[in-house]
Amino acid sequence: MNTTALDTILDKAWYQGSLTKEEITFLLSLQDGEDVTKLFRTARAIKERNFGNRVFLYGFVYFSTYCRNNCSFCFYRQSNKESFRYRKTKEDIIQLACALEDAGVHLIDLTMGEDPLFNDGARSEALLEIVQAVDDSVELPIMASPGVLREDRFASMHDAGTDWFACYQETHNRDLFTRLRPHQDYDLRYNQKVWAQRAGMLTEEGIMIGVGETIRDRAESIIMMGLQGVQQVRAMTFVPQTNTPMEKKRSPPFREELVTMAVMRLVHQNKLIPASLDIEGVKGLRPRLEAGANVITSIIPPQKGLAGVAQPELDIDTGERSPTNIEEMLEGLNVTIAPLSEYRGLINSWKRRLTVEVLA
């Protein structure tokens, strides 16, 4: 059999060689079915070498859909007067977090729009109080996804119990960033991850696929994610939302997200990579796990009035995104749910390393 350029790059990745930007771009450009299958096979093998066939489950609590920003892609942008919004009370949030814990997730992701009522003026402590209250009520690690915070908030976010800080750049192309997130500061958003790490938190970076980025932009982001020292990296396909400036833009084929995810696995072999239920719903799980993802995110309990982000309603009230349904689905997918102790061990080892790196 002839050894192709693709085989050589996949071999290099398998033996943990670091891929050049050209090689990453080459992989991201793969279209041919046979080639893409080979890429996924290698991504899956690398995932299994690092994590076995075990996955982690993240419960998603989008507790306020109010937002002061106007991201062009987002259903919950401030100017969308037709988006139904809600703000959950502290008691509701605690109850939701406890229900997710009982159902067996490994982490609670507390997400909000940039809602001034949780983070500003007289209410500047409200977000911290929510994190603290959830931390007091569940034994699980906590991720916060509150958008942009002031630098002086990070130490208290850590002390209140935040283990992970998620804030996605969406792209590392500054011009595109400005089109996607008008009137938002690229460096301020980038620094969220720097400040979170300094305060002792693990961090997640992410990009969107199909928002006008080039293949080289995607490659650049994958490289930047390494330099940023984050522990979790994601790619999510853009899903058009009604009443937004990007409502007429179509999603690219999901294959592009899967290929990006697989290349992320080759480059970031020991990081966590989510398969989000928020893009294609539950039917998107298998292809994402087969492309190298090892975390299932956006698990949402049904009938609690909670929304997703890219798919505000898909599969939520039918219970298909509920923890029990996900568990049943996994039985057919040849993956098992990792014990909580394994997840804790992993994040504790990263946190110890973070301390050494920040102090160095």
What's the rounded Cα separation, in Å, for the pair 26 and 12? 14
Q: Name the phi and psi angles at 204, rounded to 5.
A: -125, 135
What's the rounded Cα separation, in Å, for the pair 44 and 292? 5
192 binds ligand SAM (CB under 6 A): no
Tokens 């940023």 found at: 228
Q: Which residue in 119, 192, 297, 322 binds ligand MD0 (CB under 6 A)?
A: 297
Give the H/E segment covering residue 236.
strand 232-237
**Minimal distance, residue 306 CB to ligand SF4, in Å:** 14
Q: Which residue in 309, 340, 346, 347 binds ligand MD0 (CB under 6 A)?
A: 309
Q: CB-based burial of residue 266 (10 Å sphere; 0-12 exposed, 13-18 middle, 19+ buried)?
A: buried
CB atoms within 10 A of CB 32: 9
Residue 128 interface partner, choices ligand MD0, ligand SAM, ligand SF4, none, CB cut-off 5-8 Å depending on type: none
Q: CB-based burial of residue 8 (10 Å sphere; 0-12 exposed, 13-18 middle, 19+ buried)?
A: exposed
SS3 114: coil
192 binds ligand MD0 (CB under 6 A): no
In the chain, the amino acid numbered 288 is R
Q: How many residues bind ligand MD0 (CB under 6 A)?
A: 12
Residue 77 interface partner, choices ligand SAM, ligand SF4, ligand MD0, none, CB cut-off 5-8 Å depending on type: ligand SF4
* Rounded-to-5 percentages of helix, strand, coil across the chain: 45, 15, 40
Tokens of 294: 């090892």
Q: Which residue in 107, 131, 239, 306 binds ligand SAM (CB under 6 A)?
A: 239
Q: Name the phi and psi angles at 297, rounded to 5.
A: -115, 165
Q: How many residues bind ligand SAM (CB under 6 A)?
A: 18
Give the H/E segment covering residue 109.
strand 107-112
Q: Which residue in 142, 166, 211, 258 binds ligand MD0 (CB under 6 A)?
A: 166
Q: CB-based burial of residue 215 (10 Å sphere; 0-12 exposed, 13-18 middle, 19+ buried)?
A: middle
Residue closer to ligand SF4, measured from CB, 78 or 228: 78
Residue closer to ligand SF4, measured from CB, 183 or 356: 183
Residue 208 interface partner, choices ligand SAM, ligand SF4, ligand MD0, none, CB cut-off 5-8 Å depending on type: ligand SAM
Q: Are 274 and 232 contacting, i.e. CB atoms less than 8 angstroms apart?
A: yes
96 binds ligand MD0 (CB under 6 A): no
Residue closer to ligand SF4, measured from CB, 67 or 239: 67
What's the rounded Cα separation, in Å, for the pair 45 and 126? 44
Q: Which residues bind ligand SF4 (CB under 6 A)?
A: 67, 69, 71, 74, 76-77, 113-114, 147
Q: Which residue in 109, 114, 115, 213 binds ligand MD0 (CB under 6 A)?
A: 109
**Interacting span for ligand SAM (CB under 6 A) from 110-118, 212-220, 293-301, 333-341:** 110-118
Q: Which residue in 40, 60, 76, 238 binds ligand MD0 (CB under 6 A)?
A: 60
Give the H/E segment covering residue 216.
helix 215-228
Q: Which residue in 19, 93, 208, 285 binds ligand SAM (CB under 6 A)?
A: 208
Contact residues toward ligand MD0 (CB under 6 A) are 60, 109, 111, 145, 166, 274, 276, 278, 297-298, 308-309
Contact residues toward ligand SAM (CB under 6 A) are 73-74, 111, 113-114, 145, 147, 167-168, 170, 206, 208, 236, 238-239, 241, 309-310
